[in-house]
Amino acid sequence: MRFAKLRLSIRQLSSYVLAIFLGVVLSFSTLRVLPSEAEPAPKLTTENPPELLAQRPAPATAAIGSSSFVTAAVNRVGPAVVRIDTERTITRRNDPFLEDPFFRQFFGDGFSQQPSREQLRGLGSGFILDKSGLVLTNAHVVDKADRVTVRLKDGRTFDGKVQGIDEVTDLAVVKINAGNDLPVAPLGSSSNVQVGDWAIAVGNPLGFDNTVTLGIVSTLKRSSAQVGITDKRLEFIQTDAAINPGNSGGPLLNGAGEVIGINTAIRADAMGIGFAIPIDKAKAIAAQLQRDGKVAHPYLGVQMVTLTSELAKQNNTDPNSSIQLPEVNGVLVMRVIPNSPAASAGIRRGDVIVQIDGQAVSTAEQLQNVVENSRLGQVLQVKVQRGNQTQQLSVRTAELQNAS
């Protein structure tokens, strides 16, 4: 009996030992399957610093690195940005007082002065369009200049010949003869530009060569009338990148280093507001200037302002108003230029244009764009509100001869 109990105790002990052995084996097997959890942590030394997640650079910082996207953009375009120096000689008339015979009898003929000549110098920017030496800049940079000098970033200097000027869009093309060894600025597309995009202005502001400023695109399609340049037909890219005198004609770049505009204008009464001509418009004008030396712009011959029904009501309720206006939204004709297409068609001062060539118009900018995009000699159907009556008039466009 005791022997049987002893054998049972030995069997139970053996089972316990076997279970413990199997558990230890399985544990070591599991550790070998998951070595990353079983290996000891590495020792921290100066040769093997820890890569903590919080210490890793953010994606944007890692992408910029030690050289920013601005540096890359300027390196791409900078060699093609030029400085343009101009010289112009003007003649000043004598003082009429000294030419009066009554006074000359007292002072003598020797006191009479010859007309004085004065030399004016100007400064602007531009950029090279192709390896043949075409340079794009603003018209006001080279207009009426007797001599144009183009200086490259590498120090080379060339005499420039103005191939064409368009005052209406303030663009000009200058040609330099430098062989085919010229850097060329890559052109982007202004149609892809969005508000908030990076804007990099490159040029020679105030004579400080090769200056770069950074900002963003503040807004698009800012009309020249809103900017205060009423003699131009443009829709500007507005930017807060610093633009100063001397920047005119230089490129406005996007973050990829492509030209999206030509720096053109600033507001003297504001800070952080500059304006650039969209490159898509500039490319079309530059091609015409290179081919023909000028650009033909159609016109109607009216001075106009945007009219709303609210403004018309305010005018009509004013007892001092000299004219009663139709209470509609449209374009009010303030003046009709004599011998113009509008005058020949019978458009009158006080008419409100509400439709042109089948398109409803409610702003002066809309009307101007339709005319600008028409052909010379094209007959446009103009619908006007004249008092309580509606008139349908046919106006044949003619070429604008003088921007001013």
Q: Is 160 helix (H, G, I), strand (E, B) or coil?
A: strand
Hey, what's the torsion of the CAs at 25, 30, 32, 33, to 10 degrees? Answer: 140
Closest to 211 measured CA to CA, from 263, 175, 256: 263
Which among 85, 166, 170, 351 is annotated as catalytic? 170
Angle at 325 between CA 321 and CA 330, to 5 degrees: 135
Q: How far is CA 224 from the centre of its chain?
A: 13
Q: How far apart are CA 74 and CA 373, in angstroms?
A: 35
140 in catalytic set: yes
Q: Catalytic annotation on 248?
A: yes
In the annotation, is 218 catalytic?
A: no
Cα separation, 338 vs 396, in Å, equals: 15
Residue-level length of the chain: 404
Contact 196, 74 (CB under 8 A): no
As a three-state string, the secondary structure of 2-52 is: HHHHHHHHHHHHHHHHHHHHHHHHHHHHHHHHCHHHHCCCCCCECCECCCC
Q: Which of 248, 297, 351, 374 is catalytic?
A: 248
- Across 224-237, b (16+ Cβ under 10 Å) vs e yields bbebebeebbbbbb
Alpha carbon 379 to its chain centroid, in Å, reads 33
Q: Which of 85, 140, 166, 223 does the annotation list as catalytic? A: 140
Residues assigned a catalytic role = 140, 170, 248
